[in-house]
Chains A and B, each alone.
Chain A
Amino acid sequence: MVRISLDVDGDHVSDEVEPRMLLVQYLREKLGKTGTVVGCDTSNCGACTVHLDGRSVKSCNVLAVQADGHEVTTIEGLADGDELHPVQEAFRECHGLQCGFCTPGMIMQAIDVLNEHPQPTEEEVRLGLEGNLCRCTGYHNIVKSVLYAAEHSGSTAGAGGAQ
């Protein structure tokens, strides 16, 4: 067992974990943060995407011990109370989700894309989300949501979630 301490969604946590435990398992099983989900076992689907020090990572591809000393933001840490993050708001506004299983990862990745391209083109959004699979929406409204977020909140859409 290895001791780790990190910030998750603004809370400081300190814990003993097995060295092989994945960050996504740590979040879901030890912290009960089940907003982040697992959709594959090959790091292909992006459902598990969270932010590590403000950059998106696939949390099934990171060991919990690697997060030691770092800041993690999950979908559950995005909204400020009842105040949704602009990208969350955009997904609701543009019907950017159906079953919602890919959505937490998609939103976290979208924020990353917007951090990089505050006023992205459709092409940049499509390329930026390429690592996140969605089976329901055909991506049409997801792309629209990200463009909407960029348009309606300027550059804050991205930075707002980085904490």
Chain B
Amino acid sequence: MTATQDRPTAEIGRDRRRKEDQRLITGRTRWTDNIALPGMLHLAMVRSPFAHATITGIDTEAAAGAPDVVAVVTGRDLADVQGSIPTAWNITTDQKSPPHPAMAVDRVAFAGEVVAAVVARSAAAARDAAELVDVDYDEHPAVLDLKKAADDSTLAHPDLGTNKSAFWQFDSAGAGTGGSIDEAIEQARSGGILIEREYRQQRLIPAFMEPRSFVCDPNGEQLVLWSATQIPHITRFFLAAVLGIPESKIRVIAPDVGGGFGGKLQFVPEEIITVLVARRTGKPCKYTETRSESLMAAHHGRDQWQRLTLAADSEGTVTGLKVDLLCDLGAYAGTVGGGVPILGAFMYNAIYKFPAYQFNCTNYYTNKTLTDAYRGAGRPEATFAIERLMDELAAEVGVDPLEIRERNWIGHEEFPFSTVAGLEYDSGNYEAATAKAKESFGYDELRAEQRQRRESGDRVQLGIGISTFTEMCGLAPSRVLGALNYGAGGWEHAQVRMGGTGKVEVVTGASAHGQGHETAFSQIVADRLGVPFEDVEVLHGDTQISTKGYDTYGSRSLVVGGEALVRAADKVIEKAKPIAAHLLEASADDIEFESGRFSVRGTDQGMGLAEIATAVFAAHNLPDGIEPNLDSEATFDPVSFSYPHGTHLCAMEVDTETGEVRMRKYTCVDDIGNIINPLIVAGQVHGGLVQGIAQALWEEAVHDEAGTLVSGSFVDYLLPTSADTISFDIDHTTSPSTTNTLGTKGVGEAGTIASTPAVVNAVVDAVRHLGVTDVQMPCTPERVWRAIHADGAGGSTEGAAMPHFDDAEPGRDSTEGAGA
């Protein structure tokens, strides 16, 4: 399947330069904010400065009278049409959800919620006038701390009567996939090892570089919405539901989209408001958020407390894991927010084969920005926890962390393997990836240097972090998603359209936002049909062209969408075969297809696919009863997920006097099955690594006691820069996936999932000999310094000082204070 010596012309496996780059590097881009329609109006949002308040009055008069203002719209004005924003994932049938109007009507539940919109002839006029809207609020106590949310002493939504959204459990004994966790813990208590830890997954901001933007043209036969979204198809479905008009009357176009990372995987208030206002004014309308608005109001990620209990025997063989999660949904149930921790539920056992597992998750509402999918969604949290625990277990047993992993992982000869979480891993080879990573990292040499630095009491200590991860990609099959109460399916749709000249148009439902689909998908189709790469044109991101689809998230585009393409392309060949036989005057049984050519077995007679396409276009001479059309389509719904895995190794230097950390080296070997385009894959890995490293070291969305986002600009929310990062050393091993014919597994999230624990493990490893057993993320110099210089022998930021789940301690404060 890959380009090798035996198939030098193969497209799959080749480092193709990207097709989409020409327009992107010359500035001929089609961002939503570039769109200017005749007579177009501009929106500016008025947002609540309070986390929780009743709106007692809105005076719009001054704003309405400002120059170039056409209208000022409040929630009350829209009350009859706006309804409640739908969510796609109620994790239980009894899930509680507060109504979520696009624009607040009489109360606000987080700082940044939209309370009014000003519509003007220019964006500047709209913004100016928005300042003149005078809103009176009656402020209420806000729920800002996840642990306090649990006791219901203050309510984020008084009408709901509780902050709890839903409780979700997986238990291996109950599910029949493993043993009893209580027994495993009991056994560990008498003679084994029991490790209890609490970790915080801080709130992060996806921070795609292109701010969200929406343009709606309400006139004409169809309502047209241009949207900087990852999910044009799902958006069309939601819009049809909310507006009560047929999908056929709605066209959603996601033109060039400047990054998403899950952050554009929501049907959002600003989007619906733009549509409602356009319909109300009868004019095209545009809304583009500012960066501050984006950071404040576009959804955040992570924000969980994890309490973990790992049971093992005295040799370090894990016998069970119990996970208790508290998850902060923010003020409302987002598009898939409630389901994010559930995606993690299946990954806490990771690459290990322990026999007992229990996962308990409670979702809560608070008066903060919504949380929802962010690169990896649930899986980074799970991987972090188990990989940190494996290091703690290794320390307890007194062996190298790699050794403890080897004692517990699934051997390559054991695949396919049914996990304690109920998944069937189809393929993998953890030994191979680890051996390769160890070698190129220089593991033994770095361990030797670490020993030497420890012995000499060097001010700068060296730590080595390991993360041997796996994840589930593809986010299909639909049946499984249904069993998890997810409202949508997971199939993907593709069309292959043969032009009369032999050029090929490919349509995919997997809409891209920077991943290079146009290139990778062209490679797949070019190989399958044996046509030149340049002759394939890939179309996506417009529901009028790509009429069916489930868009792009969860590393599903290639695994599900790519396979749909393969099947559609194969159908083209099947359709062309009888026509080739007819034109070559041979029996269909004698026709062979290879590298774009149909030939008669055992002869030198043959013709190319392009020639057949032309013959079909003319339709002068086709077999009886055959339609003159080679186009085809396919919808693919896989039987299972795919499971990329890999071994990531990271070396960190820690200055024990200042707490400063510096990355020295990062090596990873990922097994993502067969690779379509190594160049694109490398790019995905690099970007993913930095996003995960950023969680470990820098990023954190912080609210103050009033619920205002303190990290509300790029001055305070620390995105890594080129000067903060290093170049990486990446490589691959290959165990092809068996759930799709391409043998691919998906790579979009791998780097992010694996790198966070690798980095934190390295930081802790550097100073473990000084008594440190944990540092909370992000590992700022201050936190690292406090961990090293903590009173007493422990020197950790956990243990006795860590609040128990039932303690009503403010999460953030208690964490920071814990190391002191």
A93 at the interface (CB under 8 A from B): yes
The answer, among A35, A95, A132, for a CB contact under 8 Å with B27, is: A35
Decide if B26 touches A76 in the complex (CB within 8 Å).
yes
Q: How far is the CA of A42 from the CA of B688 in the complex (A)?
A: 25
What chain B residues lie within 8 Å of A122 (beta carbons)?
727
**A99 engages B26 (CB within 8 Å):** no
Contacts of B25 in A (CB 8 A): 75, 84, 88, 91-92, 97, 100, 103-104, 107
Interface of B is mostly: loop
Q: Is the CB–CB distance between B258 and A75 below 8 Å? A: no
* B 681-717 contacts with A by CB, 8 A: 682-684, 686-691, 713-715
Name A137's contact: one of B291, B292, B687 (CB within 8 Å): B687
B660–chain A nearest beta-carbon distance, Å? 18
Give how many B residues have a beta carbon under 8 Å from the other chain's beta carbons. 56
Q: How far is the CA of A127 from the CA of B515 in the complex (A)?
A: 27
Instruction: For residue B75, give the distance in angstroms from its CB to the closest CB of chain A.
Output: 25
Min distance, Cβ A155 to any Cβ of chain B, angstroms: 21
Asked if A103 contacts B24 (CB within 8 A), the reply is yes
Alpha-carbon distance A75/B208, docked complex (angstroms): 21
B448: CB under 8 A from chain A?
no
CA distance A155 to B679 in the complex (A): 27
Q: Are B209 and A135 in contact (CB under 8 A)?
A: yes
Q: Is A115 among interface residues, defined by CB-CB distance under 8 A?
A: no
Nearest neighbor of B34 in chain A, beta-carbon distance = A34
Q: Are A141 and B683 in contact (CB under 8 A)?
A: yes
Q: Mark A131-163, 1 if CB is under 8 A from B, else 0.
A: 111111111111110000000000000000000
Q: Which of A33, A37, A45, A131 has the most CB of B within 10 A?
A: A37
| Chain A residues positioned under 8 Å from B50 (CB to CB) | none
**Which residues in window 70-101 of A have CB below 8 A to B?**
74-76, 78-79, 84, 88, 91-93, 95, 97-101
Task: Assess whether A37 is in contact with B514, with CB atoms less than 8 Å apart.
Answer: no
Contact of A126 with B209 at beta-carbon distance under 8 Å, contacts A34-B29, A95-B680, A95-B683 already known:
no
A102 contacts B by Cβ under 8 Å: yes
Does A129 sit at the interface, judged by CB under 8 A?
yes
A11 to B149, CA, bound (A): 60
Q: Within 8 Å of chain B (Cβ to Cβ): is A52?
A: no
Let me know if B714 and A98 touch, CB within 8 A: no
* CB contact under 8 A between A135 and B24, given known A34-B29, A41-B290, A141-B686: no
Interface residues of A in 16-59 (CB under 8 A from B): 25, 28, 32-42, 44-45, 47
Cβ–Cβ < 8 Å partners of A39 in chain B? 209-211, 291
**Nearest chain B residue, comparing its CB with the CB of A21:** B124
> Which of B29, B515, B715 has the most chain A CB within a 10 Å cutoff?
B29
How far is B690's CA from A47's CA once the two chains are assembled, in angstroms?
Answer: 19
A40 CA to B712 CA, complexed, in Å? 11
Q: What A residues does B691 contact at CB under 8 A?
A: 135, 138
Q: Is the CB of B26 within 8 A of A101?
A: no
Quick one: closest B residue to A25, CB to CB? B124
Query: Measured between C-beta atoms, what is the minimum distance from B413 to chain A in Å?
Result: 35
- A130 interfacial contact with B, CB 8 Å: yes
A residues within 8 A CB of B751? 138
The residue that B719 contacts in the complex, of A92, A104, A133, with Cβ under 8 A, is: A133
Q: Give the distance in Å from the alpha carbon of A129 to the alpha carbon of B720 in the complex.
A: 12
Complex CA–CA separation, A121 to B77 (angstroms): 59
Query: Does A111 belong to the interface (CB within 8 Å)?
Result: no
Contacts of A101 in B (CB 8 A): 31, 208-210, 258-259, 514
Tell yes or no: A65 within 8 A of B by CB. Answer: no
| Also in contact, A40 and B210, with CB within 8 A (given A75-B26, A93-B17) | no
Given A39-B210, A39-B291, A101-B258, A127-B723 contact (CB < 8 Å): yes
Report if A67 contacts B (CB, 8 A): no
Task: Give Cα A88 to B719, complex, Å.
Answer: 25
Q: Which residue of B lies closest to A139 (CB)?
A: B722
User: Out of A41, A99, A125, A138, which one reaches B513, CB within 8 Å?
Assistant: A99
Is the pair B210, A140 in contact by a Cβ cutoff of 8 Å? no
CB < 8 Å neighbour of A74 from B18, B27, B689 = B27
Q: Are B256 and A100 in contact (CB under 8 A)?
A: yes
Q: Is the CB of A41 within 8 A of B514?
A: no
Residues of A near B722 (CB, < 8 A) are: 125-127, 129-130, 132, 134, 139, 142-143
- A126 pairs with B723, CB closer than 8 A: yes
Cα distance A107–B29 when bound, in Å?
Answer: 15
Asked whether B103 is an interface residue with its Cβ less than 8 Å from the other chain, the reply is no
Q: How far is the CB of A140 from chain B (nearest CB, A)?
A: 4
Given contacts A41-B290, A92-B17, A133-B209, contact A36 B27 (CB under 8 A): yes
Which residues from chain B contact A34 at a C-beta distance below 8 Å?
27, 29, 31, 33-34
Per-residue contact bits, chain B 768-808, to A (CB 8 Å; 1 contact, 0 not): 00000000000000000000000000000000000000000
- CB nearest neighbor in B for A79: B26
Most buried by B among A33, A45, A138: A138
Q: Are A76 and B27 in contact (CB under 8 A)?
A: yes
Query: Is B21 part of the binding interface, using a Cβ–Cβ cutoff of 8 Å?
Result: yes
Given A95-B682, A139-B722, A140-B728, is A100 in contact with B24 using a C-beta cutoff of 8 Å? yes
Q: Quick one: which of B17, B27, B208 contacts A135, CB cutoff 8 A?
A: B208
Q: List 11 A-B contacts (CB under 8 A).
A: A34-B33, A42-B714, A88-B25, A92-B17, A98-B687, A100-B21, A103-B24, A125-B722, A135-B207, A138-B728, A141-B683
Interface residues of A (CB under 8 A from B): 25, 28, 32-42, 44-45, 47, 74-76, 78-79, 84, 88, 91-93, 95, 97-104, 107, 122, 125-127, 129-144
